[in-house]
Structure formats: structure tokens, C-alpha cells
Amino acid sequence: MTFEALIFTFSILGISETVYLIKKRILSEKPVCPVNEDCTKVLSSKYNKLFLIPNDVLGLIFYIVCSLIAAFLVIIVQPLSLWYMLLSVLVFVGSVISMYFTYLQYNVIKAWCFWCLMSACTIWFMGVTILLNNILL
Amino acid sequence: MKTASYHILRVGMAITFIWIGILIIKSPESWGGYVQPWVTNFLPLPLEQIMIGTAIFDIVIGILFLVDWQVWVAGLLGALHLLSVLIVSGITDITVRDVGLLAATLVLMLDSLPIKLKFIRPITQRFS
């Protein structure tokens, strides 16, 4: 239950982050940038889309799917092993893409976006949770 | 502009409401055990169905908190819901935490009242 609760909590945090960014983008408003003022530089760069879909939308879909899978695991919707495998694959792919985006911020755009880093950390924490669950069980 | 503390409370309450909803869907009969016996006599539907309805209601409130849309409605519904929980369950060692949740839903409701309801705002701001 702890595992599902953690995955679910991280997913909800991710949903709140991405919903905030989508709202700001639709309203053409600058997001609050607590660390520095580089968020807009990153969010408006040419790397803000993947396969023509804005990254915030992709992130929202990812987090919604992860939260639904966590809910299925809690409610015991069969087949549990398939849901668990799907979650592991999704989080692994998400972690790799987050590493790529973090590299882009560090080396290509040369600016940091607080919300992008927070989302990346959220996915990495999900990955660590899955790893620890595999090790401990 | 809303403060960071408002958003932290909003997302925290979203997690709580959605997660509780999922747990109730998982085992409605266990959660129904918290309902006082005298209440079950007045229920128009079986307790299990009422609990499933409660779970969906909790999830809807949580989603409204999460997407930051009509938060005052979610806060109002959440407060009324928690008030009803305290009435039908009584304040026990477990349900005492609902008092804190009730206060949090009221905070979110009062802090996100629309301009249309500005006649309530001076009352809430009088304490600042």
C-alpha cells in the first residue's frame, strides 16, 4: 500500500505542476519562477514540444496514466502484473526523457526552469520508489 | 494572486480526497463500519452503495482542488461532506483528524470565493 500511495502522491504532484504550466501557456502568462527568471526561456524554446505535442500536455497524460495505474493496483483491478510492468516501463521512459530535458537545460538552452526540474525530480522519485519496491519485496 | 501556501494546501487536500475515494472504492464495507448504527436506519440505499457514492463524491472534490477550478465549490462541498462525516461517525480517535480537514476545506473555500460573492469577503477579511 505504501508503494501505491507514494506513486499516486507523486503522480498527483505531477498533475498539479503540468496543469499549472498548461493554464499559464493557454493564458499567455509567465509562470512564477521561484529560483530565477529563466523559466520562460526554457518553456518557449524550440525544445518545448515532442512529436508536435507540448511537453506539458505529454507530462499531464503521463501523470494521469500513472495515477490511474496506482489506483488500479490499490483497488486490485486484474491483471496486476501487467499494470505493474506498464508502470515500470512508463516511469523508466519518463526518467530517460527527463534526463534528456535536464541535459538540454544545462548544456543547450543554458537556462534552468524550476517547473521542468520539479517535474523531472517527481519522475525520478517515482523511479526510485519502483526500484526500492523491487529490492525490498 | 494566490499564495504558495494556498496552492500547497490545495494540492495536499486534492491528494487526501482522491486517495480516500480510491480506498473507499477498494473496501466500501470496511469504511461503512464507521457509520453509526442509528444512521443506517435512515439510508434510502444499501450502505455499500452509499459508500461508493461517497467515494465518487470525494474523488470529484479532489479533482476540482487539483485542477484549481471552482475551488470554492469544492471547498464548500468538502466542508459539508466532512461535517456530515463527523455527524454520522461521531468524533472518535480516528475521525478527530476530520476536524482539521474540515478547517482546511473552509480555508480553501473562503480564500477562493468568486467576486460575485464579495459580500462574504469583508466578513472573512475582518479578522486579518
Interface test with B, best of A12, A68, A76, A77 (most B CBs within 10 A): A12
CA A35 – CA A121 distance, rounded (Å): 15
Whole-structure pTM value: 0.89
Q: Closest to B19 (Cβ–Cβ): which among A8, A19, A20?
A: A8
Check B11 against A16: CB less than 8 A apart.
yes
Specify the residue for cell string 463524491.
Answer: B57
Residue B120 confidence class, pLDDT cut points 50, 70, 90: low
Q: Closest to A16 (Cβ–Cβ): which among B19, B22, B66?
A: B66
- Res B125: pLDDT: 62
A83 pLDDT more than 90: yes
The helix or strand, by DSSP H or E, that contains position A44, with its residue range, turns out to be: none
- Res B121: pLDDT: 64
CB-CB neighbours of B69 under 10 Å? 13
Contacts of A118 in chain B (CB under 8 A): none
Do B74 and B107 touch, CB atoms closer than 8 A? Answer: no
Check B14 against A75: CB less than 8 A apart.
no
Q: Which of B13-22, B26-35, B36-45 has the highest average model confidence (pLDDT)?
A: B13-22
Residue A136 confidence class, pLDDT cut points 50, 70, 90: confident
Residue B19 confidence class, pLDDT cut points 50, 70, 90: very high
| Domain residue extents for chain A | 2-136
Residue A92 confidence class, pLDDT cut points 50, 70, 90: very high
- Res A7: pLDDT: 96
- Res A126: pLDDT: 97
CA B35 – CA B37 distance, rounded (Å): 6
Per-residue pLDDT tens digits for B42-68: 888 899 999 999 999 999 999 999 999
Per-residue pLDDT tens digits for B69-113: 999 999 999 999 999 999 988 888 878 889 999 999 999 999 998
- Res B122: pLDDT: 60
CATH topology of domain A2-136: de novo design (two linked rop proteins) (1.20.1440)
Contacts of B22 in chain A (CB under 8 A): 8, 71, 74-75
Reference A95, options A10, A24, A19, A22; nearest CA is: A10
Beta-bridged to residue A50, according to DSSP, are A53
Instruction: Find the radius of gyration of the CA atoms of chain B.
Output: 16
Contacts of A67 in chain B (CB under 8 A): 18
Output the DSSP codes for B39-85: HHTT-SS-HHHHHHHHHHHHHHHHHHHHTTSSHHHHHHHHHHHHHHH
Mean of pLDDT over chain A: 92
Interface test with B, best of A16, A30, A32, A33 (most B CBs within 10 A): A16
Q: Closest to B26 (Cβ–Cβ): which among A13, A20, A74?
A: A74
Contacts of A19 in chain B (CB under 8 A): 66-68
User: Would you call A76 an interface residue with chain B, using a CB distance cutoff of 8 Å?
Assistant: yes
- Res A8: pLDDT: 95
CB-CB neighbours of A75 under 10 Å? 13
Mean of pLDDT over chain B: 89
The helix or strand, by DSSP H or E, that contains position B19, with its residue range, turns out to be: helix B4-26
> What is the distance in angstroms between the Cα of B41 and the nearest Cα belonging to chain A?
29
Do B37 and B128 touch, CB atoms closer than 8 A? Answer: no
User: What's the mean pLDDT in A54-68?
Assistant: 96
- Res B109: pLDDT: 94
- Res B62: pLDDT: 97
Contacts of A23 in chain B (CB under 8 A): 68
Residue B28 confidence class, pLDDT cut points 50, 70, 90: very high
Asked if this assembly's ipTM is beyond 0.85, the reply is yes
Indicate the SS3 state at residue A53. strand
Contacts of B67 in chain A (CB under 8 A): 15, 19
Cα angle vertex B38, ends B33, B39, to 5°? 70
